[in-house]
Amino acid sequence: MNKISAITSAALLATLLAGGGALAAAKPVATSSTPYVTIAGINQGGPMNWFSPEGNVYPGMDLEPLAYHKLEGTNINAFFAGGGLASKWQTSNGGHTLTVWLNPKDRWSNGQAVTSSDVVTSMALYFVAGDAQGFDLGSVKALGPKEIQFNEVAGDNYNAFSRSILEEYILPASVYGGVLPKNIWSIIDQSIYSGTNAKLIKEATAAQATLSTLNKTKLDTLAPKTDVSAGPYYISSLSPDEIIMTKNPYFYDANKISIDTVDMRNNASNSTVFEWLRGGQIYQGTSGGMSLELVHELAKTPGNVYYHIPAYVTAQLAFNEKDYPYGMVQVRQAIAYLLNKHTIWQIAEPTGGTRSLFSDGMIDAQTEEYLDPSQKAALNPYTPNQQAAAKLLESVGFTKKGSQWYTPKGQVFSINIMNVSGFNDWIEAGSVMESELNSFGIKTKQTVVATFAEYEQNQTNGEYAVQFWIGSLGPWIYNTYDRLYGAIDGYAQNGTKLQYTPASKKDGGNWLDFPQTVKVKGYGTVNPGKLTNELSGNLTQAQTKTIVAKLAAVTNQYVPVITLWNYAQAGFVNTNLFTDYPLNNQQLMVSTEGQYPPIGGWETFGYVHPKQ
């Protein structure tokens, strides 16, 4: 090597080293044009239709409610200030009438104003979809271009009437209105009749059938060509594995939205999400089935911050009491004694949940809110106890020969726990139960069904004897017990009447088959279906607590379900390029995680900005 080339090489090397050093020292920065990469469930090939079972539209992103509700246990009408299309609202007529005023700044992503006509159309759509009947909506009237009045069905007294309307997403009449016939409101009026006039009942049945047909043939199948959104974003590109959301320049709080583009990748599998999180490729992501070791491993990625927020959801093991021998309370109690809930939680959901302490059908936070210390102390925690289980089984004629338990009919006592493929926490919990029950001498196996849709259908049809079930679904105590003593136990409200369908009726939806009345220690005879329904009325806190105490005692004593763990929302955010996550605002975290991905909701309330 001659001198010139040596000098040239040295200079080149020095330049490269300096450049590399500069690169290594550079701090990552982002601007509003830096795409925010996150995950979402994408229905491959699905339309941009909120009502399609395979739809691709996202609450808090391209769907905006009238108001963002808070997940508060004891106040079901709590809402965040400043979010949603309504600028204000007012209830009157004893809570049976709601008047809403739209924000004058509300506009769709095509620049048109959001008007009361859009709201009225949306409510008609919710009738077609079968939702509005659930919150007892009787009529909707546009009082002006930005003012709408809602009235509850006469005679009904539903305490979540206002809340249910305010949390609905408003759809553009220009896109969805075409599916509604001109006489839609006369059809709806006919359909909600609940009196005794035979002619009107016949008309109501025909109108309900018309709505159902409309739902299946037109609303479900609608495939808009463009996404018209009143939320902070609209879909600018939709592909099977990725959706690009672009900022809606007409959003009512557009100045709060500091990210121009959100890139949503399809979270097709846990392992894909883990890979992206480990590579720091997504800025927010969550997944079930994360072991503690995995959480520690993912936390090593620069910028990754772990969050863990208690959620108002529980995992439960439910019994179909119509199936032998689960109709015997002693059998259900024995199983409760045999399952070590601590071990189950520790193995199945150590990061995405907390172990359940009270077997009363509620999440533990609700138990703390509603029961006093003496009521809590009266609950049986079903601490693992094989002797107690054996005694209970023997008391109803079960016998143990060798290492195997036999039913009073002389059959091998065997349990088949039904489960769903892909629900890893459930599968792992089922595996632990299998181990615990087999060790005790109850022949137990786990059957995993290929899809949740199939599982749900079979469950509703009463085909499973022992199965997993999601409890609570929200902080509202009525929901919690309605999940148990509502539709799955044969109870449904028809107008102002509570109707009961026995499990023996095919396709009646009653697969729990809990007795209609039971005697409960300290409370006498109790009808849990009726009590649960009372929780949906306008009650004082004291009245609510009295009912909840009875329902907790029933559930604890008769064990229609065994609550296994309380769920938590657990995931990671990455702070390399974006900052100001609402990780310390627990109420916002728990509420916006219901909208997925939550970035739109976070920004709407002033959080998350590019790191300058």
Partner 1 sequence: MSQATAPYLGTVPPEFRRPSLWTISWRAITRKPSRVIGIVIILFFTLMAIFGPMLYPKQLPINPAELYAPPSWAHPLGTDFEGTSVLAEIITGSRYVLSAAALAAVFTIGFGTLAGVVSGYFLGSTDQIIMRVTDFILTIPGFPLLIVLSTIWSFGSPIAMGLVLGLTGWGGLARAVRSQTLSLRERGFIEAARGLGLSNSHIITREILPNISPYIAMNLLLSVTGGIYAEVGLFFLGVIPFQSNNWGVMLNLAFSNGAMYTPQSLLYMVSPMACILLVTFGIVLTLDAFDEILNPRLREG
Give the binding site for partner 1 (CB under 8 A): 269-271, 274-275, 278, 289-294, 296-298, 343, 346-347, 419, 421-422, 424, 427-428, 430-432, 434-435, 438-439, 445-450, 454
Q: Which is nearer to partner 1, 186 or 447 (CB)?
A: 447
**CA R_g for the chain:** 27
Q: Is 137 exposed, middle or buried (0-12, 13-18, 19+ CB in 10 A)?
A: buried
Edge-first strand order for the sheet with 97-102 is 86-92, 97-102, 147-152, 137-144
Q: Which is nearer to partner 1, 369 or 434 (CB)?
A: 434
Least Å distance between CB 264 and partner 1?
Answer: 21
Least Å distance between CB 461 and partner 1?
Answer: 15
Q: Which is nearer to partner 1, 294 or 388 (CB)?
A: 294
Task: Give CA angle at 164 (163, 167), nearest 5°.
Answer: 80
Q: Which is nearer to partner 1, 221 or 291 (CB)?
A: 291
Least Å distance between CB 452 and partner 1?
Answer: 12
Structure-block tokens of residue 555:
């559930």
Least Å distance between CB 306 and partner 1?
Answer: 14
Distance CA 455, CA 386 (A): 31
Least Å distance between CB 300 and partner 1?
Answer: 10
CB burial of 99-133 (b: ≥16 within 10 Å; e: otherwise) equals: bbbbbeebbbbeeebbbbbbbbbbbbbbbbbeebb
Residue whose entry in the numeric block shows the structure tokens 């995992």: 315
Q: Which is nearer to partner 1, 254 or 292 (CB)?
A: 292
Least Å distance between CB 373 and partner 1?
Answer: 30
Q: Which is nearer to partner 1, 277 or 531 (CB)?
A: 277
Least Å distance between CB 291 and partner 1?
Answer: 6
Least Å distance between CB 335 and partner 1?
Answer: 17
Least Å distance between CB 488 and partner 1?
Answer: 23
Q: Which is nearer to partner 1, 186 or 461 (CB)?
A: 461
Is residue 72 a contact partner of residue 594, using CB atoms and an 8 Å limit?
A: no
Residues whose CB falls within 8 Å of the CB of residue 134, separated by 6 or more in sequence, listed in order: 164
Q: Which is nearer to partner 1, 174 or 458 (CB)?
A: 458
Residue 450: DSSP 8-state = S
Omega before 560 within 30 of 0, i.e. cis: no
Dihedral sign of CA atoms 203, 204, 207, 208 in order: negative
Distance CA 442, CA 326 (A): 14
Q: Which is nearer to partner 1, 386 or 431 (CB)?
A: 431
Q: Which is nearer to partner 1, 225 or 300 (CB)?
A: 300
**Cβ neighbours around 26 below 10 Å, total:** 8
Question: What is the amino acid identity at position 204?
Answer: A
Residue 78, CA distances (Å) to 164, 298, 435, 542, 599 in order: 12, 35, 44, 19, 21
Least Å distance between CB 298 and partner 1?
Answer: 7
Helices H, strands E: what count in the chain? 20, 23
